[in-house]
Amino acid sequence: MKYKKYSVSEECISCLACVEVAGKNFSMNDEDMAFVHKQPENEEEEKKCAEALDVCPVDAISVSEIDATPDIEPILAKSNIKETLDKYPDLKNVLIELSPKFKKMQIPALYNTLARFASFKDAAKVTGISVCEILHIINKYLGVEDKLLKSMPECIKNNGKDEEITGTDLIWEERSERYIYNDDSLPELIEKVSNLKPQESIVIISVEYPTELLKVAKGLEYLFNIEKNREHRISVFNPKKEENTDWMERKDNFEILDVRTMTTDPFDIIIKKAYEIENDSGFTLIQRFEPHPMINMLSEMGFEHYTEYINQEEIWVYFHKVKIDTDTETGGVGKPDVVIQSATPVAYPVMMRLLQSEKVRKAVNVRELKVWEETEKHLAWIANGKADISFSALITSSKLRNSDVKIPALFVWDNFVILTRGYKAEKFKDLIGKTIHTPLFEEAPPAKITKYLIKASGLNPDDFNFVYGKPFGRPEKIYVDFVTGVADTVILREPEASYAIKIMQDRGEEISILSYSKIWNKYNPGFGSFPNAGIVLKGEFVRKHPEITEVFLDELKKAIVWVNEHRNDAANLSFDMMRQPTDRVKLFLDRVNFNYVSGDELVNKVKAYFDILTDQGIVETEVNEDFLEIFRLNGHPSSTTSSGIKVTI
């Protein structure tokens, strides 16, 4: 006998649809992402969960069939927290719903250290919840509560008696800094302890006995001294010896990153790895060819390299991050982790130049870098606050006007054209009777703006035949269909428009190009360039790190200027990531309109643009001061929470 198990992926966009349909089984966590807090236990709940799966607009809900008596051992008091959650990640939300204190343990600094050395019996002490309650809830979720009951009382036993953690004599030299230990500083101090370099120490003062800290220190095999007066004074020391060997002698021990079998571009994975590497450490990249653009980029980021040709299909590139004197390096200590994502390939050359910035590298740690191929999925990362920095289309990101975001700058303008082949087209009337292959779907901006411009020219949009892909019209497929002759009339964004134009030019085939910018300005005289895409920042990040935000935006502006002034170099830097020959990327850079606009100029432009879009029914956005505050970096949104966001795409 089997039963159905439902789960929710990170593609959730916080629309609340599943909670409204099946509230007994789906909940929202404190990051406004849906999760299954209880699997269906009867026919009615199963029916509701199936309905929730159907109504999810981004297919974030999935279901699988599992044996009614799964071959799963019950979770016991002695079970390690990290090992358990790595094996059953769905339990993370279940535990957070049980106690908010479990959320703190899932902060990366704590999850990779404290959770690594703690058991559920330890968790019971920290949260104040009985270990029996914790075990019954998580085992019930896994469907093995009956096995837990059969194991009693063994289930609540730990590995013997609680071991008292004792220190050693103070035999090391201490640093002068002192840190205060409490619930708020716990993640930061655990991270500092975990990152102690060989022969380094740290001194921490705590009113309460710092059990969590000492568990981490003991697990890492550090030495520590404990003094108890009115408060606890803990000195922690990393006794390992510092290695001073040449990196070429250590390169065989570097972590290996083999990207040969990846079906998508590995750029984001490689860059994320590069940002994680400590000074005087490295990693080994295995590829089918020598990746010259990536080598050049990492060279700008402080890496040296050595290449080994194994055979024609296997090349090993050893990357070593040059050691920098900590006395001369600025920035690094305490810099925040950030998640960066891009939903539009038009921004790739700017992104690649930006990621080379030394100031950006010193200001932040790039914890994750995601480059989406299914662009609509990036919206979930903005809605649930997972992404700190996003490169996104203006109209798409403006759907999140009620969430905690800032859009302080736009830099992509006039980004759409209509291309035709096999016949000459100079105006919309020439397209009547043709099949127009259109990106995304009928209610998306490309189609709606096109229909507005058709109507403005005195024609009826119903006389035109628009077709869309399933579930979405993908620009990558539309451009391929155009150059292969499958489609003779297409709407394309950049960079795919330039790719298609270059291919047809090289073949000597004539095409027609209808510029949206020219048509737009014909019916909106004097408007100028119309906005397309820019940068979206998480509001919390802006408030917590105003200086870093300014640095990032200033470096973004410099990157745009560099790309505009060095188009050949920018093409050579980004062609590998864009998976196109340099001549096509160069044409794209000659055609694209990159222009950094912020402040009052941006607000005025956005207002004028959205006034037209709302008047024409293209979008349903109230253009008021609350909306315009999103585009003012120093403004404050009327609501700083994304709770209850309902997003329609």
pLDDT score of 265: 67
Residue 637 reports pLDDT greater than 60: no
Residue 253 has pLDDT above 90, yes or no: no
Q: CB 1: neighbour CB atoms within 10 A?
A: 5
Q: What is the CATH number of the domain that holds 293?
A: 3.30.110.40
Residues 438 and 578 in one domain: no
User: Looking at the structure, do residues 355 and 389 belong to the same domain, yes or no?
Assistant: yes
In sequence order, what DSSP letters do the residues of 427-481 get, joined into one string? SGGGGTTSEEEESB-TTSHHHHHHHHHHHHTT--GGGSEEEE-SS-B-HHHHHHH
The DSSP call for residue 622 is -
pLDDT at residue 209, as a whole number: 84
Same domain, 291 and 394: no
pLDDT exceeds cutoff 70 at 332: no
Band of residue 537 on the pLDDT scale cut at 50, 70, 90: very high
Q: What pLDDT shows up at residue 285?
A: 92
pLDDT value for 636: 41
Closest CA to 183 of 235, 138, 223, 126: 126
Cα radius of gyration (the chain) = 28
Range of the domain at 459: 416-523
Asked whether residue 37 falls in the same domain as residue 149, the answer is yes
Count of positions (residues) in the chain: 649
b/e sequence 62-76, b meaning 16+ C-beta within 10 Å:
ebeebeeeeeeebbb
Residue 471 preceded by cis peptide, ω within 30 = yes
| CATH code (residue 111) | 3.30.70.20
Answer yes or no: do 300 and 184 share one domain. no
Q: Average pLDDT in the 337-349 region?
A: 87
Tell me what the mean pLDDT of segment 497-506 comes to: 94
Query: Which residue bears the tokens 């289930």?
Result: 155
Residue 387 exposed, middle or buried by CB count within 10 Å (0-12, 13-18, 19+): buried
Question: pLDDT digits over 209-241, tens only?
Answer: 888 888 888 888 899 999 888 888 999 999 988
Rounded percentage of the chain residues whose pLDDT exceeds 90: 31
Other Cβ atoms closer than 10 A to 30: 13
The answer as to whether 549 is a domain residue is yes
Name which of 123-127, 206-210, 499-503, 572-576 the model is least confident about.
123-127
More confident residue, 34 or 100: 34
Angle at 305 between CA 303 and CA 311, to 5 degrees: 150
**Is residue 162 included in any domain, yes or no?**
no
| β-strand pairing of 365-371 with 416-421 | unpaired
Q: Looking at the structure, tell me whether residues 24 and 97 fall in a common domain.
A: yes
Return the percentage of the chain with pLDDT > 70, whole number.
89
- List the alpha helices (DSSP H) in 88-202: 91-98, 101-105, 108-111, 114-117, 120-127, 131-142, 145-151, 186-194
Distance of CA 176 to the CA centre of its chain: 38
Average per-residue pLDDT for the chain: 83
SS3 for 243-272, per residue?
CCCCHHHHHHHCEEEECCCCCCCCHHHHHH
Q: Is the peptide bond before 153 cis (omega within 30 degrees of 0)?
A: yes
**Residue 549 and residue 406 share a domain:** yes
Q: Are residues 536 and 594 in the same domain?
A: yes
Task: Tell me the pLDDT band of 154, cut-offs 50, 70 and 90.
Answer: low
- pLDDT given at position 649: 28
* Each residue's pLDDT tens digit, 449-483: 899 999 999 999 999 999 987 766 788 889 999 99
Q: What is the pLDDT of residues 299-324, one digit of tens each?
A: 767 789 999 998 888 899 999 988 76
Q: What is the CATH number of the domain that holds 471?
A: 3.40.190.10
Contact call for residues 353 and 570 (beta carbons, < 8 A): yes
For residue 635, the model assigns a pLDDT of 52
**Contact residues for 372 (Cβ-Cβ < 8 A; gap 6+):** 341, 342, 343, 378
Report the C-alpha gap between 364 and 422 in whole angstroms: 51
Mean pLDDT of 116-145: 82
Res 408: pLDDT: 94
pLDDT tens digit sequence for 169-225:
888 988 888 899 887 787 788 888 888 888 889 999 988 888 888 888 888 889 999
| Domain contains 425 | yes
Indicate the number of domains in the chain. 5
| Residues 57-110: tens digit of each pLDDT | 778 898 887 765 567 788 888 888 888 888 888 888 888 888 877 777 666 666
| Residue at a domain's end among 125, 156, 187 | 156
| Domain boundary, last residue among 291, 321, 351 | 321
Residues 398 and 509 in one domain: no
Q: Is residue 430 part of a domain?
A: yes
The 10s digit of each residue's pLDDT in 485-495 is 999 999 998 99
Q: Is 32 helix (H, G, I), strand (E, B) or coil?
A: coil
Q: 169, exposed or middle or buried, with CB in 10 Å at 0-12, 13-18, 19+?
A: exposed
In terms of domains, do 388 and 429 share one?
no
Q: Which tens digit of pLDDT belongs to each residue from 357-411?
A: 889 888 888 777 887 776 667 877 887 788 899 998 887 766 777 778 899 999 9
Say how far apart CA 130 and CA 120 lie, in whole Å: 10
pLDDT-based confidence at 244, cuts 50/70/90?
A: low
Co-location of 279 and 401 in the same domain: no
Distance (Å, whole) CA 36 – CA 580: 42
501, 592: one domain: no
> Which of residues 105, 124, 156 is at a domain's end?
156
